[in-house]
Amino acid sequence: MCGIAGIIHPENPRPVDPARVERMCDAIAHRGPDGAGVWTDHGIALGHRRLSIIDLEGSPQPMVSADGRAVIVFNGEIYNFRALRRELEKDGTRFLTDGDTEVILAAWQKWGEGCLSRLDGMFAFALYDLEKKQLLLARDRFGVKPLFMARLSDGGIAFASELKAILAHPLMRRSVDPLAVEEYMTWGYVPDHRSFLSGVEKLPAGHYRLFDMGKPAPQPRQWWDITFAERRKGKAADLEAELLHLMREAVQSRMVSDVPLGAFLSGGVDSSSVVALMAEGSVQPVTTCSIGFDVEAVDESSYAERIAALFGTDHKSRRVDPDDFGALDAIAAMFDEPFADASALPTWRVCQLAREHVTVALSGDGADEALAGYRRQVFQHHEDRLRSRIPAGIRSAILGPLASIYPKADWAPRPLRAKATLSALSVSGAEAYASAVSITGPDQRAALYSEAFLKARGDYRAEQPFIETMETAPARSGLDRAQYADLKFWLPSDILTKVDRTSMATSLEAREPLLDHRLVEFAAALPEGQRVSGREGKAILKRTMERYLPRDILYRPKQGFVMPIAEWFRGPLASSARQVARSKTLAALDWFDPKALSDLADRHISGRSDHGRILWQLVMLERSLGALGISDRK
């Protein structure tokens, strides 16, 4: 696990100052405290920061191939590198190291960009072929590892694992893209199709860019995509056996490490399943780490302790409380772009705890997206079935107006919120799911924005690309389309971004076995009834794990790894809610109506409404602007 950075002048090659790449690498030194290096050639420079995990002494980077033809900087892990190495050795390839980096170089030399589909792992890398004068930038299937890119004023293109590395280049400007503010206020993060700063791009998950020296910069090309268009057949018992086999293979492949290894354990189905399979395949007690909260309603630490006792793990735990609010500046600096997933703070804390004992930690991330584990996906599944039985004209003409006059019941469970259900049924499945996933809807955002910002935003709405993704998905049902959108938007831009930044901030490598691409491809082809059964999501996973885990762990209501921010903003953090509503930084940028923000905070603190998540968005936006050095620059 590492950090990479570089600069290329593709159209008019010119010398690159290695000191600039060194400065970029220094900005992400936390990603790789064990080594650093820069390599240059005419028109290009590659930089690297290393966190040693495999072949601790023998795989320094930047790495030049044995024949001197190609050089690479690589962030990630290739789990099948030994199998690829054996295949390449049969064809006469000779290796000088024992790690996975050299295998990527050899795979490129044999298969070109076709090597990407042979790599099983998480990665972002830059590989330069000196003979072909080509630079390959590539990102893994799901976007576990990040890669930012920016066009510089001198015609060069800078790229790096984190935005802060690109900002370390003296020619990088800091101008906010107003449409990114719209995206952030909708989702609580900036999706991969946009960046918070104008002129910056993110290489999308499952894509690559192949630069040719002397030619214009190319557009990204997709090398992998998930499809929900196929359906597996078979008896339930056979499908469960296949799922268990895929999970075992994924867990075992990610337990290969030359440094201490452990796991995050929340006490939920996914992390408990990973720990169960780790314990099954390990002769030593597995080191597990968990975080608790001071509000019982969201505290899962007792469940984590039960699983730890069941599998005899070496369990470590820690608690998060409102005093940790003082760490928000550090959180904002980690993410660069504003990021409002409130679980980022406890995730950072559990990474800190894990790093005190291990260098690699396995997580349960990915199962909810792959196997329909979110409540919103289950509701979407049932609502879409109803939607298909009611003509669109009736849904629009009758259910929509009925929803507008029906009283709100935010306090009630979702199945009892008739207003939300009627609203969802009155529109298309894609529109309804975009609304379910978003933090703020179009009307709510418009009420918060200033007139100047509404004019700058124009007709654009953040829901548009999300809806388009669902409508064009390779899918057969509403549930398929919802899962596809979650895998494309939510997973890389929220879940994986959160885990990457918080783990790398502590120089910890996080691995996600339940995102093994073969496992996800298998899950995407399952019949809907195997994913959702009644009100149960992840139905097949829960049945499969009944032999390992107690039923009350498997079938208890999903809580999620969240902080009690609504309660805190009405209690110990009420002053912070009022303060952000009157923020001089936000006022100077003229994005929001100050009175609307003040009213929002007052309604939340008084208990008349629940605006905890929006207040958290505003707090993190203000802190991120400070971390980026942006005050009144628009």
Tell me the catalytic residues. Answer: 2
Which has the closest alpha carbon to 65: 96, 98, 35? 96
What interhelical angle do 375-389 and 478-485 show, nearest 10?
Answer: 140
Q: Which of 61, 49, 121, 70 minimizes the C-alpha distance to 97?
A: 61
- For 629, other C-beta atoms within 10 Å of its C-beta total 9
Q: Contact, 372 vs 490, CB < 8 A?
A: no
Show Cβ contacts of residue 431 under 8 Å, excluding neighbours closer than 6 positions.
463, 467
List the helix and strand counts (H, then E) for the chain.
30, 17
The answer to whether 71 touches 101, Cβ cutoff 8 Å, is: no
One-letter amino acid of 497: T
d(CA 103, CA 95): 8
* Cα–Cα distance for residue pair 222/234, rounded to 1 Å: 32
Q: Give CA torsion, residues 399, 403, 405, 406, to 10 deg.
A: 120
3-state secondary structure (DSSP) of residue 391 = coil
Bridge-based pairing state of the strands 200-202 and 44-50: unpaired
Sheet with 44-50: list strands edge to edge: 35-41, 44-50, 2-8, 157-160, 148-151, 200-202
d(CA 432, CA 478): 11
d(Cα 288, Cα 315) in Å, to the nearest integer? 5
Residue 617's H or E segment, with its range, is helix 612-628
**Three-state SS at 234:** coil
Q: What is the distance in angstroms between the CA of the first residue and the CA of the last residue of the chain?
A: 35
- Which stretches within 27-123 are classed as H helix? 81-90, 101-111
Please tell me the distance from the alpha carbon of residue 348 to that of residue 31, in angstroms, as a whole number.
14
- Cβ-contact 359, 508 below 8 angstroms: yes
Give the containing element (helix H, strand E) for 320: strand 314-320
Closest C-alpha among 140, 176, 129, 173 to residue 8: 129
Q: Cα–Cα distance between 208 and 122 in angstroms, integer?
A: 14
Q: Phi and psi of 240, rounded to 5°? A: -65, -40
CA-based max dimension of the chain = 73
Q: What is the DSSP letter of 525?
A: T
| Angle (CA) 519 525 530, round 5° | 90
Determine the 3-state secondary structure of 222 from DSSP.
Answer: strand
Q: Which two three-digit tokens encode residue 176?
A: 């906010």
Label the pairing between strands 314-320 and 287-293: parallel
